[in-house]
Amino acid sequence: MMGSESIRSVAVVGCGTVGASWAALFLAGGYDVVATDPAPEAERKLRGFIDRARPQLATLGLNGRGSLTFVDNLEAAVSTADFVQENAPENEAFKRALLARIDQAARPDAIVAISTSALLRSRIVADCEHPERHIVAHPFNPPHLLPLVEIVGEDDAVIARACAFYRSLRRKPVVLKKEVPGHIANRLSSALYREAVYLVEQGIASVADIDAAISEGPGLRWSIMGPHMTYHLGGGEGGIAHYLEHLGPSQERRWASLGEPRLTEDVKGAIVSGVEAEAGGRSIADLEAQRDHLLVEILRLKNKASS
């Protein structure tokens, strides 16, 4: 079994937002990248993204300079890679056929990592001859900044090699014991969002105030620790055991009171106009730049605190 040190070259298949972000990360980690994407101008857009991401990654200590090659042909892109990161659109039939092609063309010891947020691994690897070397490796937007990578696989050795590879890139791989739609983080995000939509539907507060109730409150804590650990600290000296014993019943009562909204045209309209008011004229590009600036600084703080 080879370790992550055996991985030197990475193929990036699909260079949209996610693929370009992965490519920037791999290059900054010192890996050589061969990228491919059938879209017009894909190479120009990819190189532009990498140039913009490089200083952010350098700030986070990722100063490597792998070489980037762009090729038009899928088989040529993956045939020499030690690791393939696949980022095609979220279409089950398309992805299933693409993974079968990659499986045919890739070296026998190459790992194929799939950036899917919504599809089930078991269904999209169904036509592969060697499904055991295919894993889900789902990043979080923006992937070159957020450390989380959700891993679903079937072969422990493959999973261990992939985790070591991602850790070499300062990622935090989280391994699921079973596959489940939406993995972990998108399920948790959707659960929160359902209630956020319910509060809009019920007219409890403005969209901007609902957002602030997260970003000026529990969201600040969640950038440091997850929900279980948060309640551990909410339990006083008795910790999570005390919390669950004494406040578990009130959690269960609140769960029973949570809403089940529907995204009707009215609700969608209220959300859209509320977000517009909250954005206050700032463009999406501006909002992204502000967010990414803060993300980089928060990640630096966290790296410093844990080192």
What's the token pair of residue 157?
């050795």
Site for a copy of itself in 15-74 (CB under 8 A): 17
Q: Which lies closer to a copy of itself via its Cβ, residue 108 or residue 256?
A: 256
Q: What residues between 182 and 221 interact with a copy of itself by CB under 8 A?
A: 182-196, 199-200, 202-205, 207, 209-221
Type of residue numbered 211: D
Q: For the window 104-133, what string marks contact with a copy of itself as x by the rule CB under 8 A? A: --------------x---------------
Q: By CB neighbour count within 10 A (0-12 exposed, 13-18 middle, 19+ buried), where does 66 fall?
A: middle
Overall size of the chain counted in residues? 307
Interface residues for a copy of itself in 136-175 (CB under 8 A)?
140-141, 146-148, 150, 172, 174-175
- Member of 237, 280, 281, 307 binding a copy of itself (CB under 8 A): 237
Rounded Cα distance between 277 and 56, Å, is 30
User: Crossing angle for the helix pair 227-234 and 239-257, nearest 10 degrees?
Assistant: 110
Q: Minimal distance in Å, beta carbon 131 to a copy of itself?
A: 20
Residue the block writes with tokens 């959690």: 251
Residue 10's DSSP bridge partners are 33, 83
Q: CB 283 → a copy of itself: shortest distance, Å?
A: 9
> Which residues have a Cβ under 8 Å from the Cβ of 207 and sit 6 or more positions away?
200, 270, 271, 274, 275, 277, 278
> Taking contact as CB under 8 A, which single stretch among the options 18-26, 63-71, 121-129, 274-282 is the one that binds a copy of itself?
274-282
Residue 2 or 180 having the CB closest to a copy of itself: 180
